[in-house]
Structure 1
Amino acid sequence: MPEYQQLIVDCGALPHLVNLLKRHRDGSNTRSVNSVIRRAADAITNLAHENSNIKVRVRMEGGIPPLVELLDFPDTKVQRAAAGALRTLAFKNDENKNQIVECNALPTLILMLRSEDAAIHYEAVGVIGNLVHSSPNIKKEVLAAGALQPVIGLLSSCCPESQREAALLLGQFAAADSDCKVHIVQRGAVRPLIEMLQSPDVQLREMSAFALGRLAQDSHNQAGIAFNGGLVPLLKLLDSKNGSLQHNAAFALYGLADNEDNVSDFIRVGGVQKLQDGEFIVQATKDCVAKTLKRLEEKIYGRVLNHLLYLMRVAEKTVQRRVALALAHLCSPDDQQTIFVDNNGMSFFRLELLLGLLGSSGLRQQLDGAVALYKLANKAMTLSPVDAAPPSPTPQEKDARDIEIPNIRWEVFELMMRFIYTGSVTVTLNIAQDLLRAADQYLLEGLKRLCEYAIAQDISLDNVISMYELSEAFNAISLRHSCILFILEHFDKFRPGNSHMIQRIIPEIRIYFTRELTKPNQRGVRL
Structure 2
Amino acid sequence: MSTGSDTVERKGHKRKLTDTLTPSAASVVDGAPADATESTISQVSRLVETIQRLTVQPVETVDRVALRRAAHGLAELSKTEANVELVVQGGAVAAVVPLLSHFPVSEHDSSSSGEEVEKEACFTLGLLAIKQEHQHAIADQGALPGLVAILKRFVPFPGPPSTGASTVRRAADAITNLAHENVSIKSRVRTEGGIPPLVALLGSYDAKVQRAAAGALRTLAFKNEDNKNQIVECGALPTLIQMLQADDAGIHYEAVGVIGNLVHSSIHIKRQVLEEGALQPVIGLLSSSCTESQRESALLLGQFATTDHEFKAKIVQRGAVPPLITMLGSSDVQLKEMAAFALGRLAQNVDNQAGIVQAGGLPPLLELMASRNGNLQHNAAFALYGLADNEDNIAAIVRQGGVQCLQDCELLVQPSKDCVQKTLKRLEEKIAGKVLNQILYSMNCSDAVMQHRTATALARLAREADLKTVFVERKGLDILLQILTDPKRDALCHKEAAGALFELAKKANATAPIDCAPAPPTPQVYLGEQYVNNLTLSDVTFLVEGQTFHAHRIALLASSDTFRAMFDGHYKEKEASTIPIPNIRYCVFESMMRCIYTGSVDVAPDVAEELLQAADQYMLEPLKRLCEAAIAADLSTDNLADVYSLSENFNAPQLGRHCMLYALEHYEELESQDSNDFSALLCKMVPELKERLTEQLLKKQTASM
TM over 0.5: yes
Moved more, 383-392 or 94-103: 383-392
Q: Structure 1 residue 356 and structure 2 residue 485: aligned?
A: yes
Specify the alignment match of 2:683 in structure 1: 506
Instruction: Find the aligned partners of 2:443 and 2:512 in 1 and give their Cα distance.
Output: 33
Q: Report the CA distance between 1:102 and its aligned residue.
A: 0.7
Question: In structure 2, the residue corresponding to 1:156 is in which secondary structure?
Answer: coil
Question: In structure 2, the residue corresponding to 1:341 is in which secondary structure?
Answer: helix
Moved more, 484-493 or 230-239: 484-493
1:82-104 deviation line (CA, Å, top 9, x unaligned): 11111111111111111011111
Contact 1:339–1:350 (CA under 8 A) maintained in structure 2: no
Specify the alignment match of 2:534 in structure 1: none
- Code of the residue aligned with 1:382 in structure 2: it is A
Moved more, 429-438 or 13-22: 429-438
Q: Report the CA distance between 1:415 and its aligned residue.
A: 6.5
Instruction: Find the aligned partners of 2:165 and 2:592 in 1 and give their Cα distance.
Output: 106
Contact 1:238–1:250 (CA under 8 A) maintained in structure 2: yes
Which of residues 603, 609, 619 is equivalent to 1:433? 609
Alignment of 1:19-168 (within 5 A): 19-25=149-155, 28-29=158-159, 30-168=161-299
Which of residues 660, 664, 671 is equivalent to 1:488? 664
- Code of the residue aligned with 1:222 in structure 2: it is Q
Contact 2:156–2:200 (CA under 8 A) maintained in structure 1: no
- Identity of aligned pairs, percent? 57
Specify the alignment match of 1:379 in structure 2: 507
Q: Structure 1 residue 211 and structure 2 residue 342: aligned?
A: yes
Q: Report the CA distance between 1:228 and its aligned residue.
A: 0.8
Q: Report the CA distance between 1:192 and its aligned residue.
A: 0.8
Specify the alignment match of 1:472 in structure 2: 648
Q: Report the CA distance between 1:59 and its aligned residue.
A: 0.7
Alignment of 1:146-225 (within 5 A): 146-225=277-356
Contact 1:196–1:205 (CA under 8 A) maintained in structure 2: yes
Q: Check 1:360–1:469 CA distance in 2 against 1; reply closer, same or farther (3 A cut).
A: farther
- Code of the residue aligned with 2:480 in structure 1: it is L
Instruction: Find the aligned partners of 1:80 and 1:413 in 2 and give their Cα distance.
Output: 93
Instruction: Find the aligned partners of 1:281 and 1:55 in 2 and give their Cα distance.
Output: 36
Moved more, 409-418 or 310-319: 409-418
Contact 1:354–1:372 (CA under 8 A) maintained in structure 2: no
Specify the alignment match of 2:63 in structure 1: none
Specify the alignment match of 2:495 in structure 1: 367
Q: Structure 1 residue 13 and structure 2 residue 143: aligned?
A: yes
Q: Check 1:446–1:69 CA distance in 2 against 1; reply closer, same or farther (3 A cut).
A: same
1:304-334 deviation line (CA, Å, top 9, x unaligned): 2111111011251112111111112222233
Instruction: Find the aligned partners of 1:239 and 1:10 in 2 and give their Cα distance.
Output: 50
Contact 2:455–2:476 (CA under 8 A) maintained in structure 1: no
Instruction: Find the aligned partners of 2:285 and 2:701 in 1 and give their Cα distance.
Output: 63
Which of residues 274, 278, 298 is equivalent to 2:405? 274
Specify the alignment match of 1:516 in structure 2: 693
Instruction: Find the aligned partners of 2:298 and 2:157 in 1 and give their Cα distance.
Output: 38
Instruction: Find the aligned partners of 1:300 and 1:421 in 2 and give their Cα distance.
Output: 53
Contact 1:329–1:372 (CA under 8 A) maintained in structure 2: yes
Instruction: Find the aligned partners of 1:308 and 1:388 in 2 and give their Cα distance.
Output: 41
Q: Report the CA distance between 1:435 and its aligned residue.
A: 3.3
What's the Cα RMSD here?
2.7
Contact 1:415–1:425 (CA under 8 A) maintained in structure 2: no
Question: In structure 2, the residue corresponding to 1:164 is in which secondary structure?
Answer: helix
TM-score, normalisation: structure 2: 0.69
Instruction: Find the aligned partners of 1:80 and 1:421 in 2 and give their Cα distance.
Output: 94
Moved more, 245-254 or 278-287: 278-287
Specify the alignment match of 2:121 in structure 1: none
Instruction: Find the aligned partners of 2:325 and 2:612 in 1 and give their Cα distance.
Output: 63
Specify the alignment match of 2:703 in structure 1: 525
Specify the alignment match of 2:546 in structure 1: none
Contact 2:369–2:377 (CA under 8 A) maintained in structure 1: yes
Question: In structure 1, the residue corresponding to 2:164 is in which secondary structure?
Answer: helix
Instruction: Find the aligned partners of 2:396 and 2:702 in 1 and give their Cα distance.
Output: 36
Instruction: Find the aligned partners of 2:476 and 2:304 in 1 and give their Cα distance.
Output: 48
Instruction: Find the aligned partners of 2:173 and 2:523 in 1 and give their Cα distance.
Output: 95
Moved more, 194-203 or 39-48: 39-48
1:267-320 deviation line (CA, Å, top 9, x unaligned): 211112222221222222222222222222222221121111110112511121
Q: Report the CA distance between 1:443 and its aligned residue.
A: 4.3
Instruction: Find the aligned partners of 1:98 and 1:383 in 2 and give their Cα distance.
Output: 63
Moved more, 395-404 or 426-435: 395-404
- List runs of 5+ in structure 1 lacking aligned partners: none
- Code of the residue aligned with 2:479 in structure 1: it is R
TM-score, normalisation: structure 1: 0.91
Instruction: Find the aligned partners of 1:235 and 1:8 in 2 and give their Cα distance.
Output: 50
- Code of the residue aligned with 1:378 in structure 2: it is K
Structure with greater Cα Rg: 2
- Code of the residue aligned with 1:488 in structure 2: it is L
Q: Check 1:43–1:427 CA distance in 2 against 1; reply closer, same or farther (3 A cut).
A: closer
Instruction: Find the aligned partners of 1:514 and 1:49 in 2 and give their Cα distance.
Output: 70
1:17-46 deviation line (CA, Å, top 9, x unaligned): 212112234774442122222222222212
1:455-492 deviation line (CA, Å, top 9, x unaligned): 22222233222211211222322211111111221222
Moved more, 59-68 or 472-481: 472-481
Contact 1:360–1:366 (CA under 8 A) maintained in structure 2: no
- Code of the residue aligned with 1:362 in structure 2: it is D
Q: Report the CA distance between 1:125 and its aligned residue.
A: 0.8
Q: Check 1:28–1:231 CA distance in 2 against 1; reply closer, same or farther (3 A cut).
A: closer
Contact 1:341–1:351 (CA under 8 A) maintained in structure 2: no
Question: In structure 2, the residue corresponding to 1:32 is in which secondary structure?
Answer: coil
Moved more, 410-419 or 449-458: 410-419
Specify the alignment match of 2:465 in structure 1: 334
1:227-257 deviation line (CA, Å, top 9, x unaligned): 1111110111122222211111111111112
Contact 1:390–1:450 (CA under 8 A) maintained in structure 2: no
Q: Check 1:459–1:386 CA distance in 2 against 1; reply closer, same or farther (3 A cut).
A: closer
1:149-173 deviation line (CA, Å, top 9, x unaligned): 1111111111111111110101111
Specify the alignment match of 2:41 in structure 1: none
Q: Check 1:143–1:72 CA distance in 2 against 1; reply closer, same or farther (3 A cut).
A: same
- Code of the residue aligned with 1:136 in structure 2: it is I
Contact 2:485–2:679 (CA under 8 A) maintained in structure 1: no
Instruction: Find the aligned partners of 1:111 and 1:185 in 2 and give their Cα distance.
Output: 22
Contact 2:282–2:301 (CA under 8 A) maintained in structure 1: yes
Count of equivalent residues: 523
Instruction: Find the aligned partners of 1:470 and 1:67 in 2 and give their Cα distance.
Output: 85
Question: In structure 1, the residue corresponding to 2:286 is in which secondary structure?
Answer: helix
Q: Report the CA distance between 1:433 and its aligned residue.
A: 2.6
Q: Report the CA distance between 1:335 and its aligned residue.
A: 2.0
Instruction: Find the aligned partners of 2:678 and 2:203 in 1 and give their Cα distance.
Output: 79
- Code of the residue aligned with 2:196 in structure 1: it is P
Contact 1:329–1:375 (CA under 8 A) maintained in structure 2: yes
Q: Which has the higher helix share?
A: 1
Alignment of 1:292-307 (within 5 A): 292-307=423-438
Question: In structure 1, the residue corresponding to 2:251 is in which secondary structure?
Answer: helix
- Code of the residue aligned with 1:21 in structure 2: it is L
Which of residues 235, 252, 255 is equivalent to 2:366? 235
